[in-house]
C-alpha cells in the first residue's frame, strides 16, 4: 500500500512542482495572461486522455505493467522541462509528463481498487487522497524553496519517481493483476453511460476545475496583491494540501457515516466556496493560510467520497478501467479550468475566485438533489 500511495502521490504532484514558480516562468517567457494557465494545466489534458486508455489496458495486461514504465517515463520527460527555451517547448514536455502521470494514476489507483473492498476500500481511498495531498504539500514546499534559486532546478524533483519504480518492482504482488477479458472490457463503454455512473465523472471534472483555479490563479493573485514570493506561494499550496490530507485520512469517512456521503460532499463544497470567496479579500498572511486550509478540508471531503462511490458502483472486472476514466475526467476538468476561467482572470482579476465559488455551490446543490431522488 505504501508504494502505491507514493506512486499516486507523484501523479498528483505534477502541477505542484510548477505552481510555486509559475509566475517566474510566465514572466521569463512573456506569456499572455489569458493562456498562461496552460503551462500548469497542459499535462492534465494528456493525462485525461491517457488515464482511461491505460486503465483499460491495465485490465488486460495487469496494472503493474502499466505502472512501472510510467514511473520511469515520468522522471525523464518531467526533468526535461528544465531544458525548455520557450512556451512551446515547455508545453510539449508538460504534455508528455501528463501521459506518464496518467499511467501512474491508472496503475496505482487501479491496484488499490482491486486489492480492497467495501468499507476497507472507502478507507483506503481516503488514505490515497491524503497521500496525494501530502505529496502536493511536499512538492509545493520543495518547488517553492528550490525556485528561490532558479525555477529550472525544480524540475529535477520529477526524478524521485525512479526509486519508486524500483520499489514497485520489488514489492507489489503480481498475482491477480489481470482483471478482465476482452468481452468484459468491451462492456465498459455501456457501463460508463449508466445514470448512476456518468454524473460522477461530471462531478469529478467540476471539482478538479475548481481546484485548479486556486493552483493556477492564486499564486498570480498573491504575487500581484502582496508581492508573494515563490516560497510563500508554495506554503499556501501546501496549506491547502495539508487540510485535504488531514480530513481525508482522519475525518472524511467518519463524517460520511454521521451525515451521509452526500451530506459530507455538500459540506466539502461549502468549505471550498467560502475559501474561494475569501481569497480576494485577504491581505494578511496568517488569514490567507487559514483560508487555504479551509479549501483543502473541503476538497478532502469531496474527492474520496466521489471516488469511493465510483468504485462501489463498478463491476469488479471493470473497476480499474472505470476508476481510471474517473481520473481522466478529473484531469480533463483541470485542463479546462484555465480555458474557462482564463478570460475571467484577464478581465476581472480576483473576480475569478467568485466565479469558482459559484460553480462549487452549483455542483454541490445538483449532487444533493440528484441523490435525494
Rounded to the nearest angstrom, the gap between the alpha carbon of residue 62 and the centroid of all alpha carbons in its chain is 23
Instruction: Please give the class, per CATH, of domain 2-372.
Output: mainly alpha
Query: What pLDDT does residue 125 have?
Result: 66
Query: What pLDDT does residue 181 have?
Result: 47
The Cα 366–Cα 373 span in angstroms is 11
Query: What pLDDT does residue 152 have?
Result: 87
Quickly list DSSP for 277-340: HHGGG--SHHHHHHHHHHHHHHHHHHHHHHHHHHHHTS-GGGHHHHHHHHHHHHHHHHHHHHHH
- For 180, phi and psi rounded to 5 degrees? -155, 140
What's the angle, vertex CA 364, arms to CA 359 and CA 370, rounded to 5?
Answer: 125
Contacts of 361 (CB under 8 A, 6+ apart): 269, 270, 273
The Cα 4–Cα 8 span in angstroms is 6
Contacts of 242 (CB under 8 A, 6+ apart): 133, 137, 293, 296
Quickly list DSSP for 300-314: HHHHHHHHHHHHHTS
pLDDT tens track, the chain, 373 positions: 788 888 877 877 787 777 778 778 888 888 776 676 777 778 878 887 887 788 778 777 777 888 889 999 999 998 888 888 888 888 899 899 999 988 888 788 777 766 776 666 666 766 776 677 677 778 878 888 888 888 888 888 898 899 999 998 888 776 444 544 444 555 666 666 677 777 888 889 999 899 889 888 888 888 888 888 878 888 888 888 788 777 866 666 677 777 777 788 889 999 999 999 999 998 888 999 999 999 999 988 888 788 777 777 777 667 767 777 887 788 788 888 888 898 898 888 889 999 999 999 998 888 777 665 5
Query: What pLDDT does residue 354 have?
Result: 96
End-to-end CA distance of the chain: 37
**Placement of cell 506554503 in the chain:** 235
Query: What pLDDT does residue 331 have?
Result: 78
Q: Where are the domains of the chain?
A: 2-372
Query: What pLDDT does residue 118 have?
Result: 63
Rounded to the nearest angstrom, the gap between the alpha carbon of residue 106 and the centroid of all alpha carbons in its chain is 13
Amino acid at each position: 500500500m505504501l508504494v502505491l500511495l507514493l506512486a499516486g502521490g507523484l501523479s498528483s504532484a505534477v502541477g505542484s512542482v510548477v505552481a510555486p514558480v509559475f509566475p517566474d516562468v510566465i514572466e521569463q517567457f512573456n506569456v499572455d495572461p489569458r493562456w498562461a494557465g496552460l503551462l500548469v494545466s497542459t499535462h492534465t489534458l494528456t493525462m485525461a486522455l491517457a488515464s482511461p486508455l491505460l486503465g483499460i489496458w491495465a485490465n488486460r495486461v495487469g496494472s503493474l505493467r502499466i505502472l512501472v514504465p510510467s514511473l520511469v517515463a515520468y522522471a525523464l520527460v518531467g526533468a526535461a522541462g528544465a531544458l525548455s527555451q520557450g512556451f512551446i517547448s515547455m508545453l510539449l514536455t508538460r504534455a508528455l509528463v501528463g501521459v506518464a502521470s496518467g499511467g501512474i494514476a491508472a496503475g496505482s489507483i487501479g491496484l488499490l481498487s482491486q486489492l480492497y473492498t467495501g468499507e476497507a476500500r472507502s478507507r483506503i481511498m481516503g488514505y490515497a487522497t491524503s497521500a496525494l495531498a501530502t505529496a502536493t504539500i511536499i512538492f509545493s514546499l520543495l518547488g517553492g524553496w528550490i525556485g528561490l534559486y532558479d525555477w529550472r532546478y525544480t524540475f529535477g524533483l520529477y526524478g524521485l519517481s525512479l526509486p519508486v519504480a524500483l520499489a514497485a518492482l520489488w514489492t507489489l504482488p503480481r498475482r491477480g493483476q489481470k482483471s478482465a477479458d476482452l468481452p468484459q472490457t468491451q462492456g465498459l463503454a455501456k457501463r460508463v453511460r449508466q445514470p448512476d455512473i456518468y454524473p460522477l465523472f461530471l462531478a469529478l471534472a467540476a471539482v478538479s476545475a475548481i481546484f485548479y483555479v486556486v493552483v493556477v490563479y492564486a499564486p498570480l493573485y498573491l504575487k500581484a496583491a502582496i508581492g508573494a514570493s515563490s516560497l510563500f506561494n508554495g506554503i499556501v499550496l501546501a496549506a491547502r494540501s495539508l487540510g485535504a490530507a488531514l480530513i481525508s485520512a482522519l475525518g472524511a469517512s467518519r463524517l460520511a457515516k454521521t451525515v451521509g456521503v452526500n451530506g459530507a460532499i455538500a459540506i466539502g463544497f461549502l468549505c471550498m466556496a467560502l475559501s474561494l470567496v475569501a481569497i480576494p479579500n485577504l491581505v494578511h498572511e496568517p488569514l490567507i493560510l487559514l483560508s487555504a486550509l479551509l479549501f483543502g478540508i473541503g476538497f478532502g471531503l469531496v474527492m474520496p467520497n466521489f471516488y469511493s462511490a465510483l468504485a462501489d458502483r463498478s463491476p469488479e472486472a471493470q473497476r480499474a478501467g472505470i476508476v481510471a476514466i474517473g481520473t481522466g475526467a478529473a484531469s480533463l476538468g483541470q485542463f479546462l479550468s484555465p480555458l474557462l476561467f482564463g478570460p475571467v482572470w484577464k478581465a476581472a482579476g480576483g473576480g475569478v475566485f467568485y466565479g469558482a465559488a459559484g460553480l462549487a455551490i452549483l455542483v454541490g446543490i445538483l449532487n444533493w438533489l440528484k441523490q435525494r431522488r
